[in-house]
Structure 1
Amino acid sequence: MHLHDVWFVLIAVLWTGYFFLEGFDFGIGVLTRLLARDRPERRVLINTIGPVWDGNEVWLITAGGATFAAFPEWYATLFSGFYLPLLVILLCLIIRVVAFEYRAKRTGERWQTGWEQAIFWTSLLPAFLWGVVFADIVHGVEIDASGEYTGGLPELFGPYALLGGLVTLSLFTFHGAVFAALKTLGDIRARARRFATRAGAVTAVFALAFLAWTQGDGGNARSLAAAVVAVLALLAALGANLRGREGWAFAFSGITVVAAVAMLFLVLFPDVMPSTLDPAWSLTVENASSTPYTLKIMTWCAAIAAPLVVLYQAWTYWVFRRRIGTQHIAEAH
Structure 2
Amino acid sequence: MDVFWYALVGLLLAGYLALESLDFGTGLLFLTVREERDRERLRRGVVPLFLANEVWLVAFTGLLLGALPGLESGLLHGLRSYLLVLLTAWFLRDAALWFRTAHPGDRWRRGWDAVLPAASLVLAAGWGLVLATLIRGLSTDGRGQAVGTLGDALHPLALLCAALTVVASLRQGALHACRAQPDGAVRHRLTRLARRLAVALAPLVLLAAVLGGLDGGDLPATAVLGALAAACVYVSERAAAAGMFGRALVWGTVPLLALPVTVGLVHGTTVLATRSGVGAVALADAVANSASLTLLTVTVLPALVAVALGQVWMWRVFGGTGRPPS
Q: Give the alignment's TM-score, normalised by structure 1.
A: 0.90
Q: CA deviation at 1:228?
A: 2.8
Question: What's 2:104 paired with?
Answer: 107
Q: Could you tell me which residue of structure 2 aligns to residue 87 of structure 1?
A: 84
User: CA–CA distance in 2 between the matches of 1:30 and 1:47?
Assistant: 15
Report the Cα offset of residue 146 of structure 1: 7.2
Contact 2:210 2:222 in 1 (8 A): no
Q: Which amino acid aligns with 1:138?
A: I
Q: Take 2:90 and 2:261, find their aligned partners in 1: how far apart are those partners?
A: 24
- Residue identity in the other structure for 2:309: L
**Range 123-132 or range 238-247, more displaced:** 238-247
The offset of 1:245, in angstroms, is 3.0
The one-letter amino acid paired with 1:39 is: E
* In 2, Cα distance between equivalents of 1:9 and 1:300: 18
Greater displacement, 215-224 / 162-171: 215-224
Shift of 1:83: 1.3
Taking a change above 3 Å as real, the CA distance of residues 170 and 73 of structure 1, as seen in their structure-2 partners, is same
Shift of the 272–174 alpha-carbon distance from structure 1 to 2, 3 Å rule, reads same
| TM-superposed deviation, 1:26 | 0.5
Match of 1:242 in 2: 241
Identity score, percent: 27
For residue 105 of structure 1, give the secondary structure of its aligned residue in structure 2. Answer: coil
Contact 1:31 1:173 in 2 (8 A): yes
Between 1:107-116 and 1:301-310, the stretch displaced more is 301-310
Partner of 1:274: 273
Aligned 8 A contact 1:143 1:275 in 2: yes
Shift of 1:263: 3.2
2:144, 2:64 → 1: CA distance?
A: 16
Q: What is the CA RMSD across the aligned residues, in angstroms? A: 2.3
Displacement of 1:144 after TM fit? 6.5
Aligned to 2:218: 219
- C-alpha distance in 2 between matches for 1:101 and 1:281: 41
2:308 is matched with which residue: 305, 310, 324? 310
Q: Is 1:264 aligned with 2:263? A: yes
**Residue 212 of structure 1: how far off its partner (Å):** 1.4
Give the TM-score, by structure 2 length. Answer: 0.91
Q: Take 1:163 and 1:56, find their aligned partners in 2: how far apart are those partners?
A: 25
Shift of 1:107: 1.2
Distance (whole Å) between structure 2 residues aligned to residue 195 and residue 229 of structure 1 = 23
Q: Which residue of 1 aligns with 2:293?
A: 295
Q: Is the 8 A contact 2:22 2:172 kept in 1?
A: yes
Is the alpha carbon distance of 1:140 and 1:321 closer, same or farther for their aligned partners in structure 2, counting shifts above 3 Å?
closer
2:18 counterpart residue number: 20
> Could you tell me how far 1:152 is from its partner in structure 2?
3.5
Query: Contact 1:147–1:282 (CA<8 Å) still a contact in 2?
Result: no
Stretches of structure 1 lacking an aligned partner (at least 5 in a row): none
Q: Does the CA contact (< 8 Å) of 1:142 and 1:150 recur in 2? A: yes
* Residue 89 of structure 1, CA deviation: 0.7
Structure-1 separation of matches of 2:308 and 2:95 = 25
Within 5 Å, which residues of 2 pair with 1:61-210?
61-143=58-140, 148-149=145-146, 152-187=149-184, 188-210=186-208
Aligned length: 324
Runs (5+) with no aligned partner, structure 2: none
1:153: Cα distance to partner?
3.1
- Residue 51 of structure 2 is matched in structure 1 by 54
State the Cα distance separating 1:103 from its structure 2 match. Answer: 1.0
State which drifts further: 16-25 or 78-87.
78-87
